[in-house]
Amino acid sequence: MKHARSLFALLLFALAAGGVYWYRQSSSQSLEQRYKLQAIERGDVTQTVSANGTLNPIVLVNVGTQVSGTVTRLYVDFNDKVEKGQALLELDDSLLAAQARQSAANVQNVAAALDLARASEARMKALFEQEYVSRQELEQAVQTRRSSEAQLAQAKAAADKDQVNLHYTTIRSPVSGVVVDRVVDLGQTVAASLQTPTLIKIAQDLSEMRIDSSFAEADIGKIREGQKVRFTVDAFPNRSFQGEVQQIRLNPTTQQNVVTYNVRVSLSNPEQILLPGMTAYVSIGVASRQDVLLVPNAALRFKPSESSDSERTPAGQKTASESSGESKGKGRKRDTASGTVYRVENGELKALSVSLGITDNRNTEVLGGDLKVGDIVVTGENVASSNGKPSSVGMRLF
């Protein structure tokens, strides 16, 4: 019995010793194994605002028709280059040509009537001087001659109008450029009534283009004309293009209580690889700092778990999600904010409050605080491995 008690006590002691050893081993794990660490450095940071937009030609002309008719000839097709004044298509001119001939005949008829009125006026003057006719008869002859002159002028104007309409049956290009769309075919009838139908679309010059993008009201106050713009398109995902803010439209657009403003970006397209209608992902640099102290945004987002021995965030201190200065997100933003980072000191973590400036969504400018170049800060916790020991995956120690 006594031997059994001794064995039981020895077993309890072994278990207690093992627990203490395991606790000390787990507690003495290095910070490099438990956390992802990164050193504070100096560098450049640029804050940007982003939006999507559409590439458009600077001048896109919708070529229509002022007269109705059936398309009898087509001289251009998609992507054809055209010159100003070049014939694009022709409409059937049979009815308009007949109307023009009728107007010309009417001019001759009225001209003949005018000749007769002038001859009658001359005879009336001669007879009036010999007192064979009254003054009233002379004045009637003068009025007939003047009326015939007015009718001739009216007939000539109608004939000129019909000639112009006949000329409109040949549709010509108003500008030099490239045909980007053709919406009619041979044999199709077009009717010009209260609204001019569009037949062909011509982009004047694809070497110079523009982007029409919509920016939220929270970002529009940071945008100025002349700012440099970088953008990408899906057609060339690994290539970045440049432009410049040309204009900020003052007319807002409201959709689902979200107010946006149109920002027009001008750009050069010398290779003409950017095509109308492409979606552009626009990024505008609104603020820039050179050679400043930078803290990773991951360090601002890090918060120790409750089981950690580290210091907790001071009461009232902003967390990383509140320490923005970032261009994305909703709500009112400030030029400066504050945040908390955890610095490694003597093998322990110490919470530090820092004042923050602009951010590029990866690093944030440090305006004030006790951080300095070379300080090691925590950017996250390492994922525990299956045997209970922390893994060093993703650790960065400088």
User: Does the predicted TM-score (pTM) go above 0.75?
Assistant: no
What separation, in Å, do the N-terminal and C-terminal C-alpha atoms of the chain show?
A: 61
> Residue 198's beta-bridge partner residues?
64
**39 C-beta neighbours (distance < 10 Å), count:** 14
Collapsing DSSP states into helix, strand and coil, what is residue 159?
A: helix
- The per-residue pLDDT for 31 is 66
Based on C-alpha coordinates, what's the Rg of the chain? 42
Q: Phi/psi class of residue 369: alpha, beta or left (left: φ > 0; alpha: ψ in -120 to 50)?
A: left
CB count within 10 Å of CB 328 equals: 14
Show pLDDT as tens, one digit a residue, over the chain (398 residues).
556 666 666 666 666 666 555 544 444 356 677 888 999 999 999 999 999 999 999 999 999 998 999 999 999 999 999 999 999 999 999 999 999 999 999 999 999 999 999 999 999 999 988 888 899 998 999 999 999 999 999 999 999 999 999 999 999 999 999 999 999 999 998 988 777 888 999 998 899 999 999 999 999 999 999 999 999 999 999 999 999 999 999 999 998 899 999 999 999 999 999 999 999 999 999 988 999 999 999 999 998 875 454 444 443 344 433 444 344 444 334 445 889 999 888 878 889 999 999 988 899 999 988 888 988 999 888 865 334 444 443 334 33
Query: Given this model, what pLDDT does residue 323 score?
Result: 41
Q: Tell me what pLDDT residue 396 has.
A: 40
Give the span between the Cα atoms of 86 and 367, in whole angstroms. 63
Q: Are the C-beta atoms of 297 and 305 separated by less than 8 Å?
A: no
DSSP 346: T
303-324 pLDDT, tens digit each: 887 545 444 444 334 443 344 4
Instruction: State both tokens at 72.
Output: 């009898």
Q: Which H helix or E strand runs over 267?
A: strand 258-268
CA 144 vs CA 111, 118, 141: distances in Å: 13, 8, 5
What are the residues facing 85 on neighbouring strands? none
Is the CB of residue 68 less than 8 Å from the CB of residue 189? yes
Where residue 238 falls (left for φ over 0; alpha for ψ -120 to 50; beta otherwise) is alpha
Rounded CA-CA distance 269/271 in Å is 6
Identify the helix (H) or strand (E) that includes residue 31: helix 31-34
Q: How many CB atoms lie within 10 A of CB 202?
A: 26
Cβ atoms within 10 Å of 265's Cβ, excluding its own:
24
